[in-house]
Chains A and B, each alone.
Chain A
Amino acid sequence: MIWQLDIVLLVFIVICAVAAITVRDLLSAVIILGAYSFFMCLLWTEMGAVDVAFTEASVGAGIGTVLFIAAIARTARRSKD
């Protein structure tokens, strides 16, 4: 566990989380959420949890983003807040 890399990744994660809930375009918000998931998975690899990391990369970031994009394609893309 390298603490410098850890802190850089944690800062990126918090930035991505704040950006995902403030962006008004829902498609952009979902893509930022995917980036958040990949940063999270990098953090877990760095912390030694490799099994959790590749499950999150395939299931959380992959399938989750696809499901969100499919739902947004069938509904509205704009958000008021």
Chain B
Amino acid sequence: MLEYVIAKYNYWVYVILMMIGLYAMMGKRNLVKKLIGMNIFQTSIILFYVSIGVKKGGATVPILEGHGHGGHQAVDVATILNPLPHVLMLTAIVVSIATTGVALAALILIYRRYGTLEEDEIIAARRAAAAPKAKDQAS
């Protein structure tokens, strides 16, 4: 049991990083801190996928030599890493930088409107703006 736990240390660190990112997204009040937490969360998932592709016993990068010229040789699968998770995660990195860019643009607009990036101050400003209207409707 203990060997099983220790042998999977990459997955344990992935879970720890995921929880750090989740805490930053839920527990921090500053919006930039929430965005940093989202980045940590995304990279932790990429770490999980890359860890899936690793093989023990001297498997290396999948660069095949001697293919395409003079016939095909059979590939020994045990000598190369699994490249499928790597290719999936290339897309995930580009998507993560796109979401970060859109989120930062929205954040600049929020700062221009409310003058702050703290979540509680923004909520207080919104409540203060909505309160006179509610009073008018009640009377």
Contacts and interface: CB of A to CB of B under 8 A. Distances in A.
Interface of A: 1, 6-7, 10, 13-14, 17-18, 20-21, 26, 29-30, 33, 36-37, 40, 43-44, 47-52, 55-56, 59-60, 63-64, 67-68, 70-72, 74-76, 79-81
A74 B43 contact: no
Given A74-B108, A76-B117, 6 more contacts: A6-B9, A14-B13, A21-B36, A33-B40, A47-B50, A79-B32
B78 interface: no
Contacts of A37: 43
Nearest to B21: A17
6 contacts: A7-B9, A37-B43, A48-B81, A64-B39, A76-B116, A81-B33
A25 B85 CA distance: 36
A64 to B, nearest CB: 6
B26 to A, nearest CB: 11
B104 to A, nearest CB: 4
Interface string B41-74: 0010011001101101001110000000000000
Contacts of A56: 43, 46, 93
Contacts of B28: 21, 81
B16 A14 contact: yes
Interface of B: 9-10, 13, 16-17, 20-21, 23-24, 28-30, 32-33, 35-37, 39-40, 43, 46-47, 50-51, 53-54, 56, 59-61, 81, 85-87, 89-90, 93-94, 96-97, 100-101, 104, 107-108, 111, 116-118
A77 to B, nearest CB: 9
The interface residues of chain A, by DSSP majority, are classed as: helix
A64 B20 CA distance: 19
